[in-house]
Structure 1
């Protein structure tokens, strides 16, 4: 039997990706409050980040954190701050 969708503000990873134009998924590497961490779950309008050495995750809005390892430049909804973060570093060769 399929699980019923939660009512209210519950968003799936796909809905978070669409709404905030971020590469949200479980296990994604992020920087939150200047500290690297891993996305452990999505609940309501938040993604929960687990920092190294901690057993407890903390909630963050998807647009409050920097997403690492996947370019946001492939999406249509790129904010200026995220676009600068993911620009390739020019080589001096």
Structure 2
């Protein structure tokens, strides 16, 4: 879904739809991610506000970091750093995403 030619708002909406369908929409209270470069948090953002209206272009660096926080229980957020390409994105994060039960 994340690729050149879409807006940050569109990417954020796609993630919200998945999270809402799974029943956790009310626990996703922030944007999906943001750009980074000279600073760690820069515009544009994956958000449902005006900072999400910028069209993504090849070469932009972004974070994708959905988080779900349930009051009285806890939460989780996993962040990937990506580079936007014409056809998608390149994930720079090499962290394992397998669920390891202890």
TM-score with structure 1 setting the length = 0.31
Q: Which has the higher contact order (CA 8 A, sep 6+)?
A: 2
